[in-house]
Amino acid sequence: MSAFILRRLVHMIPLLVGITLVSFLIMQIAPGDPVDLLTERNATAEERARVRTLYGLDRPLYVQYWIWLTNMLQGDFGHSYVRGRPVLEMIAERLPNTVYLNLVVSVLIYSVAIPIGVASALRQYSTFDHTVTGTAFLGQALPNFWFGLLLIYGIALRTEAIPVGGIATYGVTLAEHGVWPVLVDRIRHLLLPVIVMGFSAMAGVTRYMRSGMLEVIRKDYVRTARAKGLNERIVIYKHAMRNALLPIVTIVGFQLPVLFSGSVIIENIFSWPGLGTLSVDAVFMRDYMVVMAFNVIGATLVILGNFIADILYVVVDPRISYE
Amino acid sequence: MCFRNERSSTSKVYHCRHKSSWTRATAACILVYEKVTTEGIIPEDGITIVRNPAAVYPLTATHNGKEVAIFMNRLRQVSALLLAAALLLVAACSAAPTTPVDNGSGEEDEIPAVGGEITYGMTGEPVILNPLLATDSPSSWVNNRVYAGLVRADENLQLEPYVAKNWEYSEDGLEWTFFLRDDVYFHDGEQLTADDVVYTYESILHPEYTGARASLYSAIDEVVAEGEHTVQFILDEPFVPLLSNLTIGILPSHLFEDTPVAEMRELNVNIEPIGAGPYMFKEWDSGQRIILERNPDFFLDGPYIEQVRVRMYGDEQVMLASLEAGDIDLLGSIPPDDVDRMMDEYADRFEFHHLQDNGYSYLGLKQTDPVLEDVRVRQALLYGMDRQGMVDNILNGQGTVMNANIPPFSWAHNEDLNPYEYDPDTAVELLEEAGWTEIDSDGIRRNEEGGRLEIQVVTSTGNTLREDTLLIAQQELADIGVDLQPDFYEWSVLLNQYLDVAQFQAYMLGWSLGLDPDCYIYFHSSEGVNEDGNLVGYNDVEYSNPEVDELLERGRTTFDEEKRAEIYGEIQEILNEELPYLFMFSRDIVSAVSRDIRGMTMSNIGALFPEQWYVKTESAE
């Protein structure tokens, strides 16, 4: 097992380098140029050339990539062309907000969607099942921005306790107000974005769990378990559910990059200071250093997520081993 | 309602604020200089203000029976002061008993008190809090509060003293001397001196400057400090519009000078700025808010509001909801579709100001294009579009049709222009005169050579105003047999492949105008494309008319405002006739201001004089 882990880790390195190389090239080859956005429209060729030199954009692509790669490996992701700030600093101040929101949403999704999926599988074609399935599809079908605005106008504007947006009320701090008011304030701000994100993501997990459970429940070993007179609870939770969880584990692995990626729509609607806006703005402004940092982080997380999913398989499924 | 500025040592300055019905149009705020020796003149007493629109000075005041003039525009006021400084005395304040007052807020009885806080809502986040490097409007809003420039605009978009207390021009117009106030301090306690001014302008003119403002100052040859509080600008040639660019915030040189200009962008002081403006930067919570605090040592009266919070939003509708929920107290611009509803529902909480934006949308037409080089085709296009209809439908009536390049509120505006009212018949006549006589089976015109009357318009994505305008224009022009084909590109691609290289048949964009009517870089023939294919100025449509060239040159070197108004009037006439652009319309900006905020002066470039704003206090009720 540890040999497998080591091997996978070693394989990650060329994969990562490959991904960064390809994304670096695609970004540079794509039309649009940061120099056009930084200089005046009527800047002379010399002025443009000077800015180009200043940011090292005049060098051959492979040199630029090499410089970027070696700096990156030393932990230097460069400065934003537009804001002049270190890229890592810009990401670091937004990252906690994004992870915080996504973590709450994920915990909520799994703790609610898994039991619902199981229950609706056990009562297949009942009214409960139809309601759950219907709601799940509705959640997936509703556009986030529309649902979000609906909640803002329907709830936030009518309820004193629910703010229109933001992450916390200005001036409510641990030092001044203590734990409880801060917690309450945070939850008030979380409520609407969590509902919107949870509602749309819940559908998938519920459906996975339901179909996984339906499949397992008809398996011979479940019938055997029942036949040997086991308690129904043990049949369901020990014999059936553990097996039905396998596909969910795959999703958990893929969930890792999602946890660190912001949604522009949710952030815009709920004025949430996350990574989504930052990354999209960077692409539109051709802020290469920022874009590349996001590419590296994204690629790393996807690879790591897959890796974790593979490890989790071993944990939950004794049939799988990587010896 | 006058406040004596205690810090001013040489002259006593009464700073008056008022917004009564008659002063609103002219001056909501009158700076009145009192000669030091004339003691005992109490503005509240014995002063009558007389309004006589026919007189040279439409506002006059008498003090104890003696008549004094109140100068209407501060530019003239300053020059007049230089001439008649010794004679000029006293004057009046706004709280004249004879003044008709009608602004419904009871403002004239209030004394502003220090305190309170306000929250301003903006979409987007400031990019960089350095006036030399920022070009986005969120940054400008913050920079205008944190930094102070030599001069600033008043509500008539005239320039008034700010850090510079006055200035004079040499006879040949090549040496401009600015006398700085000696009581201006940066927020870190350092005094603002001539060296800071020199540093600021030298940085912009520096060959390694990385911002996008250098061309505004290219007329400056040299900036020289003459002692601690005097700065001289040496110009290559007389360049009157320069004054309107001297509004840019002055940087504290002691925090910048150790860093090469090329690396200025990376300094932390751009994120935690130090200026000499009425508000001090306190904190910036990325993506959430910026907090500004009152600068108690500001050199003018005020500021009064303790804390100004800037909240950032990603979505206009959400920002509006925040306004409705009471999270923000003022909003720069309400989306056109929501204006009526907001005004109906919230008239009791907010005051709504409608002001035409200082800018306009247009379709730039390549003057050398085989189809568009014929002026009749260009005129036909304008006759073929119902621009008032567009304003009514797209902007919900919140806009003004433009027929040339200078908006109606400017002193340089020419009213006698061809309005090009929607007239498809005239449009068809003009097209047929121009040889586009055949009509194809698809309804599009052809000329004798078999050319098809199609026009490709490029513009940027994500701007619904432009998208809607072009879609309506496409339909309307199809009726007269013109095939308008809009193409939308991402901003950086649009610049890179079309606009910066001046390769297009037509494009749609908007101009945000400066304070000066000078439009040399847009329409002078030398500002087009050079031999290398690079844009020299912004004359990307390559318009060329020797008469306009000559007028533009004169406009830049003429100091007299009346003469300039004539010059720009003529330019507008020619542009209105020849149409290098299809001038479309400008938006009306509708802002909402909480009724608790007082002392604001509204103008076409937004709410001015932030140091005079105050929050209504309980005791003033």
Output the pLDDT for position B16: 36
Which amino acid does the sequence have at B366?
K
Contacts of B341 in chain A (CB under 8 A): none
Beta bridge partners of residue B17, listed in sequence order:
B29
Q: How far is CA B431 from CA A241, A316, B418, B424, B447, in A?
A: 77, 77, 18, 10, 10
Question: Given this model, what pLDDT does residue B92 score?
Answer: 30
Residue B183: its pLDDT value, please?
Answer: 93
SS3 B519: coil
Q: How far from the centroid of its chain's Cα atoms is residue A42's Cα? A: 41
- Contact yes or no for B311 and A166 at CB 8 A: yes
Residue A54 pLDDT > 80:
yes
Would you say residue A316 has pLDDT above 80?
no
Nearest-Cα distance to chain B for A306, in Å, is 31
Give the residue on A whose Cα is nearest the Cα of B530: A44
Residue A42's pLDDT is 74
| Interchain pair B291, A170: CB under 8 A | yes
For A254-275, the pLDDT digits (tens) are 777 877 777 888 898 999 999 9
Name the band, by pLDDT with cuts 50, 70 and 90, for residue A236.
confident
CA separation for the pair A151, A204 (Å, rounded): 22
Subunit contact A84:B267, Cβ cutoff 8 A: yes
Q: What pLDDT, in 10s, does the model give residues B257-277?
A: 999 998 898 899 999 999 999
Sequence-distant (≥ 6) Cβ neighbours of residue B548 within 8 angstroms: B523, B524, B571, B574, B575
Among candidate residues B13, B11, B91, the one with its CA nearest the CA of residue B300: B13
* B103 or A105, greater pLDDT: A105
A with B: how many residue pairs have Cβ under 8 Å apart?
A: 132
* Residue A123: both structure tokens together: 């009562």
Pairing of strands B159-161, B151-153: antiparallel
Average pLDDT of the residues in A275-302: 89
Instruction: Mark which residues 164-203 of A lie under 8 Å from B by CB.
Output: 164-167, 170
* Confidence grade of residue B495 (pLDDT, cut at 50, 70, 90): confident
pLDDT at B361 over 80: yes
Are A271 and B311 inside 8 Å of each other by CB? Answer: yes
pLDDT tens, residue by residue, A137-192: 888 888 888 999 999 999 998 888 888 888 888 888 888 888 888 999 999 999 99
Q: Quick check: B497 and A31 CB within 8 A?
A: yes
In whole numbers, what is the pLDDT of chain A averaged over residues? Answer: 87
Element (H, E) at B601: strand B601-603
Q: What six digits make up the tokens of A13?
A: 């390195």
Strands (E), chain A: none
pLDDT at A323: 65
Strands B454-460 and B483-489: parallel
Q: Can you tell me the mean pLDDT for B388-410?
A: 93
Residue in this structure with the two tokens 């009212």, named with its chain if needed: B421
Rg over CA atoms, chain B: 26
* Residue tagged 């850090």 (tokens): B163
Domain locations in chain A? 12-73, 93-316
CB atoms within 10 A of CB A58: 15
Please name the residue of chain A whose CA is at the shortest distance from the CA of residue B538.
A42
Rounded to whole angstroms, the Cα distance separating B599 from B112 reads 8
pLDDT given for residue B61 in this prediction: 45
Nearest Cα of chain B lies from the Cα of A19 at a distance, in angstroms, of 25
Amino acid at A260: F
Give the pLDDT of residue B109.
59
Show Cβ contacts of residue A19 under 8 Å, excluding neighbours closer than 6 positions. A295, A299
Residue type at position B65? G
Average pLDDT for B451-464: 92
Cα A276 to Cα A95, A260, A280, A299, B288: the distances in Å are: 10, 10, 6, 16, 14
Q: Which residue of A has its CA nearest to B492?
A: A32
Q: Tell me the residue type at B197.
A: V
- In Å, how far is B90's CA from the nearest CA of chain A? 46
Q: What is the average pLDDT across B384-406? A: 93
Between residues B94 and A15, which one has the greater pLDDT? A15
Structure confidence at residue A243 as a pLDDT band (50, 70, 90): confident
* Predicted pLDDT of residue A237: 84
Rounded-to-integer distance, Cα A290 and Cα A91, Å: 9
The pLDDT of residue A32 is above 90: no
Mark A266-285 as b/e (b = at least 16 C-beta within 10 Å). bbbbbbbbbbbbbbbbbbeb
pLDDT score for B618: 61
Which sign does the torsion angle of CA B36, B39, B43, B47 carry?
A: negative
Higher-confidence residue of B322 and B533: namely: B322
Residue A217 confidence (pLDDT) above 60: yes
Q: Do B287 and A273 touch (CB under 8 A)?
A: yes
Chain B residues near residue A279 by CB distance under 8 angstroms? none
> For the domain A93-316, what is the CATH superfamily, name and number?
MetI-like (1.10.3720.10)
* Mean pLDDT (whole number) for A293-307: 89
Nearest CA in chain A to B535: A42
Number of neighbouring beta carbons within 10 Å of residue B502: 23
Q: For chain A, give the percent of residues with pLDDT over 70.
A: 100
Residue A285, pLDDT > 80, answer yes
Q: In chain B, what is the greatest distance between 2 CA atoms, to the nearest angstrom?
A: 86
Q: Are residues B318 and A268, on separate chains, in Cβ contact within 8 Å?
A: yes
Residues 84-103 of A with CB under 8 A from B: 84-85, 90, 93-94, 97
* Chain B CA closest to residue A153: B321
- Asked if A164's CB is within 8 angstroms of B266's CB, the reply is no
Q: What angle do CA B196, B4, B83 make, to 5 degrees?
A: 65
| pLDDT of B467 strictly over 80 | yes
Q: pLDDT tens-digit profile of B299-318?
A: 998 899 999 999 999 888 89
**C-alpha separations of A206 from A14, A138, A140, B289 in Å:** 37, 13, 11, 38
Q: Are B529 and B513 within 8 A, CB to CB?
A: no
pTM here?
0.80
Mutant choice from B264, B265, B491, B535 vs A, greatest count of A C-beta within 10 A = B265
Model confidence at B330, in pLDDT bands (50, 70, 90)? very high
Q: Which of A32, A42, A274 sits opposite B496 (nearest CB)?
A: A32
- A86 φ/ψ angles, rounded to the nearest 5 degrees: -60, 135
